[in-house]
Amino acid sequence: MLRFFIFIFLFLPLCPQAKSISWIYVDFAPYYILDGAKKGLGRDERVIQLLDKALPSYDFKYVTLPASRAIHELSSPKNFYCMISIYKTPQRAVHIDYTKESSTIGLSPSLAIRRSTLERLNLDLGQQVSIRELIHRHQLTLGISASRSFGNILDGIIDTIPPEQLVSRPGKDPLMSLTKMLLKKRVDITLGYPSEHYHMQQLLDNDYQLSQLTIEETDSFAQGYIGCTKQAQTPELIRELDIALKNIKSSRAFSDAMLYWLPTELQPTLTSKLIQQNINTPEG
């Protein structure tokens, strides 16, 4: 018996240590659908599912956080987390390492607005506008999700908005709260992404009171990257994630995930970009 335990003791150090990734899930549809009929069909969690198949040597774990806490926890050296589809900013790069390959691609941020406000301002459905001019010239109140980056240009514009014209919502489902405020005329416009606004309209806007405006100060498309907390093992993980991303982005399943939460009339715009990037797209 003693020989048996000595054998086990000597053998254990030779066993390879299992590698794991702890993914941050946030309460932010349509990127993560945490309950209901479409649970598990969120855009970003579908990318994580594809990565799980592409990286069989890793054990995937999950932690669900409020959207307003995600970047803070991702940046904390006490943790070792990764998160799908985040913007690269100099401030975040101090504590977060990013993949070179993008993990998601979608249409750039847009503004949700009441159709009555469109008529008052003499704007057309889907018109492209300057968010800076729209807010400052017409004294509109903008609603945004707390602790969220929309890229350096838009973040810089948001920083110039007077506090009385800016409503920042933390907590669970911040865009849902903001969309409700928009419908109740407590804010004039909200900033998000087309798929987010579309999802909110499906849930809340049965009377078609809302529409979207595209923004002059943005590129046509937005790409997000995987960010992981800076730790000793992070560079190796980032290298493996880059290889996996390059492979899954050539799949139809990836294209399906990117297009699923877009309204039909906006899908061709993103499809053309996916084709340009040599990504397979769904037939038809």
Ordered per-residue pLDDT tens for the chain, 284 residues: 545 444 444 444 444 456 999 999 998 889 999 999 999 999 999 999 999 999 999 999 999 998 889 999 999 999 999 999 998 989 999 999 999 999 999 999 999 999 999 999 999 888 889 999 999 999 999 999 987 888 889 999 999 999 999 999 987 778 889 999 999 999 999 999 999 998 998 889 888 899 889 899 998 898 999 999 999 999 999 999 999 999 999 999 999 999 999 888 788 889 988 988 754 444 43
Strand order, beta sheet including 189-192: 128-129, 210-215, 110-114, 189-192, 142-145, 166-169
Q: Where are the domains of the chain?
A: 19-106+222-261+268-276, 110-215
Taking CA 152 as the corner, what is the angle to CA 175 and CA 90, rounded to the nearest 5 degrees? 110
pLDDT value for 11: 45
Which are the contacts of 89, defined by CB distance < 8 A and separation ≥ 6? 149, 152, 155
Cα dihedral 140, 147, 28, 59 in deg (nearest 10): 160
Cα–Cα distance for residue pair 264/197, rounded to 1 Å: 14
- What is the homologous superfamily of the domain 19-106+222-261+268-276 according to CATH? Periplasmic binding protein-like II (3.40.190.10)
Residue type (1 letter), 179:
T
Cα–Cα distance for residue pair 25/45, rounded to 1 Å: 8
pLDDT value for 120: 96
The residues with which 59 forms a beta bridge, in sequence order, are 20
Which are the contacts of 86, defined by CB distance < 8 A and separation ≥ 6? 71, 74, 92, 96, 98, 149, 224, 225, 226, 227
CA 46, 50, 53, 54 torsion: positive or negative?
negative
pLDDT value for 282: 47
Does CATH number 3.40.190.10 belong to domain 110-215? yes
Q: What predicted TM-score, i.e. pTM, was given to this entire model? A: 0.77
pLDDT value for 70: 94
pLDDT value for 202: 86
pLDDT value for 4: 45
Pair of tokens at residue 252: 């139809």
Closest CA to 47 of 244, 262, 266, 267: 244
